[in-house]
Amino acid sequence: MKKFFIVLSSVLFALNLLNCTSGDANAQKNAAASDSAAVNDSARGDSKDTSDNKSRKGEGDFQPQQPSAVPVEVTTLSTGEISSFLLYSSTLETEQLVDVYSRIAGLVVGVYAEEGDRVSKGQRLIQIEKDEYELAEQKARLDYETQKANFERIKALQQENLMSEEEFQNAEFAMKAAEIAWKQAALNLEYTTVTAPISGVVGDRLVQLGGRIMTTTKLLSIANLDEKIVQVYVPQNEFTKCYRNQPAVVTTGILPGVKFNGYVKRISPVIDPQSGTFRVVVGVKDPQNRLRPGMFVGAELIVDTHENARLIPKSALIYENERTYFFTVQQDTALRVELQKGFEDAEKIEVLNDIPVGAKVVVLGQNGLKNGSKVKIIEERSYTWQRREEISSLPVSKN
């Protein structure tokens, strides 16, 4: 029994000791947890303070971002003249362009014209050796004089009835044949000097000094540059739009920006059944002689003209979904306008929209714009056709 109480006491002591150890451990654990919570609360407080400070600092420094202005170039909507026309391409020609040939064969002993020389009608161009032709002319003249003297003798005898009528007629015919042969020989002698058939400029010189030529040998070509023409072939459905003396304009890529006035000189009354076209000849006015035959040119037949039309350059146009737009600028703001077009040419187009003259139209930078975009004008352009219209609108001095 005594042993039982000793064992029970030992067990209870061990349990009490175990409870004390667990309590101390729990207390330490609770204390550590309390310390960690305090640190976390402090960190959260600091973080919150930092965030609040940053938030307050950001609120003080924030400024709303403004859209940047798009740099553009503009021009002024102006008034002027614009025409509706029929445009065709062809080569420039002259009314008079001839190839020079010799009427006789022979050896070339003189060349008196070079390419580019201006010659007058009848001026000497080529000299052919004429010794042989001089002898032929002298012989023919002697034959004629002989036959003439013989005829005069027979005529005197016939008047005295000493010569038959038949002999008289034969003598007369022989004299006339000799006269014709003499004139032919004299003409051949004259042909040894080749002269210019028209006045103009020598185009090609194909003959060489010392060369032998035949009647089929081309010697020179001469063009009269004072009368230039352009031949165009117009479709038959445009026949009613063409008429004599119709104004025209001729241009060439060799002289960009230069226009030559012209007019319809002739219209063929016959339509080609194969091509369905008719020929129109346009006369070209070139007082400074800047055009040359053979140049590739464009001919514009003026059908109608609008005076004082509102014009903008074609570079201002934007094409979108089969529609055409352009931008105007009002108080640094771009406004998109759908084009209502009238006549147009290669440089400009007529605006039928109700837009005041003098409005600024964007010609460069418009592809990145939207309606209402802010813009900054960096340059204002002026076009050649605008300057021409300004000059033509100036009052003429009467002094």
Quickly list DSSP for 280-320: EEEEE--TT----TT-EEEEEEEEEEEEEEEEEEGGG-EEE
What pLDDT does residue 44 have?
47
What pLDDT does residue 387 have?
64
185, 216, 259, 347 from 130: Cα distances, Å: 11, 19, 50, 62
Distance CA 92, CA 298 (A): 9
Q: What strand order describes the sheet that includes 218-223?
A: 97-101, 218-223, 200-205, 118-119
What pLDDT does residue 190 have?
95
What pLDDT does residue 67 have?
64
Which residue in the block uniquely carries the two structure tokens 């771009």?
334
- Of 2.40.50.100, 1.10.40.30, 1.20.1250.20, 3.40.50.720, which CATH number belongs to 99-128+195-224? 2.40.50.100
CB atoms within 10 A of CB 394: 7
Whether 377 contacts 362, CB under 8 Å: no
pLDDT tens series, the chain, 399 aa: 444 445 445 555 555 554 444 444 444 444 444 444 443 444 444 444 444 444 444 444 445 555 688 999 999 999 998 988 999 999 999 998 999 999 999 999 999 999 999 999 999 999 999 999 999 999 999 999 999 999 898 888 888 887 788 888 898 999 999 999 999 999 999 999 999 999 999 989 999 999 999 999 999 999 998 899 999 999 999 999 999 999 999 999 999 889 999 999 999 999 999 999 999 999 999 999 899 999 999 999 999 999 999 999 999 999 988 899 999 999 899 999 999 999 998 889 999 999 999 999 999 998 888 999 999 999 999 888 886 555 444 443 333
Residues 6+ away with beta carbon under 8 Å from 299: 87, 88, 89, 90, 230, 232, 248, 249, 250, 262, 282
CA 308 from centre of chain = 25
| 74-93+227-393, CATH topology level | Elongation Factor Tu (Ef-tu); domain 3 (2.40.30)
* Boundaries of every domain in the chain: 74-93+227-393, 99-128+195-224, 130-191
Per CATH, the architecture of 130-191 is what?
Answer: Orthogonal Bundle (1.10)
CA 312, 313, 314, 315 dihedral sign is negative
Q: pTM here?
A: 0.60
Which residue in the block uniquely carries the two structure tokens 């590739």?
296
Q: Are strands 70-76 and 375-380 parallel, antiparallel or unpaired?
A: parallel
Distance CA 48, CA 266 (A): 96
What pLDDT does residue 391 have?
42
